Every structure is written in C-alpha cells, then in structure tokens.
Amino acid sequence: MATKRISAAMEKALNTQMTQEAWQAQVYLSYAAWAEENHYAGISDFLYKHAHEEREHMFKILKFIINRGGKVKVDAIKAAPADPKDLGDCLKKLLGHEVDNSKLIDQLTDLAHKEKDWAALNFAQWFVKEQVEEETLFGNLLDKYVLATTKKEGNANLYEFDRDVAKAPQETAVPQEEKF
C-alpha cells in the first residue's frame, strides 16, 4: 500500500502492542515449560497452544500496520517472568497478565476513538472481545483449580483424577514426532 492511513501515534501504539503480544507469548511459553517440567502434562499442552495464540495476535497487528500503510518495527522482547511458585500462582499470574493486557488494548481502543480512526477502532474491538474471552478462560481455570484444591466433602479430587485418567490417551507424542 502506497499511502499511509494511520497516524504516527497510532503506528507507534500498534507497534508497542505487537511487541506486547510477542511478550505475552513468551510468558505462556515459559509457564508451559515450567508446567511440563513439573509434570502437569495437560496444563503445559494448553499453555503451549496459548503461546501460539498470542503469536497469532502479534501477527494480526503486524498485518494491520502493513495493511494501513504503516511501518512495522520488530522490537526487543523483554524476558519472561520468573517461574511461578505453584500451579495456583501460575494461573493467578496468567489471569493478571491478561487483565493487564486488556488495559493496554483499552488504551489502543481509546486512541483510535480519539483520532476518529474507525478502521483502527474496528480492529481494536476484535481484541476487546478477545480479552473478555481470555479473562473468562483463565478466570474459569483458576476457579476450577480452587475447587480441586480446596477441602471438599468426600474424595472429589480422586474422582476427578480417575475421570481424567479414563480419558487419557494410551499413546503419547515424543518430541521427534511432534509438530511445533
């Protein structure tokens, strides 16, 4: 596209959010590795997939910048945070990261609105909806974790564990055969 149809401020904000999504992917990747190292196979698989999703968000923004005639700036990504203390801490921190990211998306949406950049507003609104989904997803996971680890009547944890084992596949992928 020959003409630039985003402001310098919007271009900067989009590039910043693009790097932010790349960082989010690093956060999920590091927590996924931590989960796998701690033998939470289901959680780690879920988090690896989510790291891919955050990379997709990064790509969406990259493409939008180019599509609107802007310049993409691939910047340094800050290091992933330290390992969580335990699974509860992991889920709490992930929800916190999503809530923080939602605030940044809100700022981007606000800028689009102030600039009357309706194309950017429409684009940003996809992320507003996405963040509602992600906050719900991690909020629900945290709720389930609290349920599973809080003292309950009977042996509900064992019941759930047994149910999970019943659903577990008989075969498991090895790194040499996996597609990443």
DSSP state at residue 177? G
Please tell me the count of residues contacting Fe ion according to CB under 5 A. 4
Cα separation, 5 vs 120, whole angstroms:
10
- Show contacts with Fe ion in window 7-26 (CB under 5 A): 21
User: What's the closest the beta carbon of residue 22 comes to Fe ion, in angstroms?
Assistant: 10
- Show contacts with Fe ion in window 134-163 (CB under 5 A): 134
Residue 26 · residue 94 · CB < 8 Å: no
Q: CA 70, 117, 14 angle in degrees (round to 5)?
A: 40
Q: Is residue 68 at the binding interface for Fe ion, with CB under 5 A as the rule? A: no
Residue 110 · residue 98 · CB < 8 Å: no
DSSP state at residue 84? P
CB closest to Fe ion, residue no: 57
Binding map of Fe ion across residues 118-137, x = CB under 5 A, - = no contact: ----------------x---
* Cα distance from N-terminal residue to C-terminal residue, the chain: 32
User: What's the closest the beta carbon of residue 166 comes to Fe ion, in angstroms?
Assistant: 31
Residue with Cβ nearer Fe ion (7 or 26): 26
Q: Is residue 57 at the binding interface for Fe ion, with CB under 5 A as the rule? A: yes
Task: Give the interface with Fe ion as residue ranges (CB under 5 A).
Answer: 21, 54, 57, 134
